[in-house]
Amino acid sequence: MVAGAGASDVAAAAYCVDQGGQVQTRTADLGTNGDQQGWLALGGTTDMCRFQANDDGGSRIYVDLNTLYSAQPTLAGLAYLAKEPMAPSAGGANPATGYCSDLGGSSAFGSGGASGGGWVSTDDPVDVVVALCVFADLSFIDEWGLAYHSNGDIRGADLATVMKYQPGADVPPVFVEQSPAPTS
């Protein structure tokens, strides 16, 4: 946890652990598609909860502590619960990044390009860099975990069962697939 964290941050971190997760603090780094010696640590850090499954691949999903702990919805939580179908990717683009963008989130650092960027923890034995889908309310979720979930695949843990926010069958229709406009 970050020094000086508030009581709600401490409670959210404890909730993460109680649900079987691990709290990680990650830094925002630019240039993560290149050699690690060239990465540029930016001025941001964030705490998140990492859930890892005991499956063959040790699948994982990362989510912000607020989305996990809040009894109110966040955009990241609603995106996960909505399970909107992911459009087929084209042209070799990262399908998880495209899906994040289609939902109104962003995982881009800067103006794009091949240098990339991501959320770094050099202490993580598997995922040194994680791409997060960040929404306008600053909630976030692992973009690959979100993309896999759109197809019904659970990575790490089913966040629908561990998030405090439980809307039941009445998920607010924030992420409703839009029908194309009729052509004349």
Number of domains in the chain: 1
Instruction: Assess if residue 178 is contained within a domain.
Output: no
Q: How far apart are CA 2 and CA 25, in angstroms?
A: 8
Instruction: Assess if residue 62 is contained within a domain.
Output: yes
Instruction: Assess if residue 17 is contained within a domain.
Output: yes
Helical (H) or strand (E) element with 77 = helix 75-82
pLDDT in tens, 37-77: 999 999 889 999 999 998 888 899 999 999 999 999 999 99
Residues written for the chain: 184
| First-residue to last-residue Cα distance in the chain | 57
Instruction: Assess if residue 180 is contained within a domain.
Output: no
Instruction: Assess if residue 29 is contained within a domain.
Output: yes
CB neighbours (10 Å) of residue 57? Answer: 9
Burial class for 108, CB neighbours closer than 10 Å (0-12, 13-18, 19+): middle
Instruction: Assess if residue 28 is contained within a domain.
Output: yes
User: Which residue is associated with the tokens 């998140």?
Assistant: 48
Q: How far apart are CA 92 and CA 156, in angstroms?
A: 26
Instruction: Assess if residue 35 is contained within a domain.
Output: yes
> What is the band of 141 on the pLDDT scale with cuts at 50, 70, 90?
very high
Predicted pLDDT of residue 124: 87
β-pair partners for 61: 51
Instruction: Assess if residue 1 is contained within a domain.
Output: no
Task: Residue 42: give the domain boundaries.
Answer: 7-162
Task: State the average pLDDT for the chain.
Answer: 86
- What 3-state DSSP class applies to 63? strand
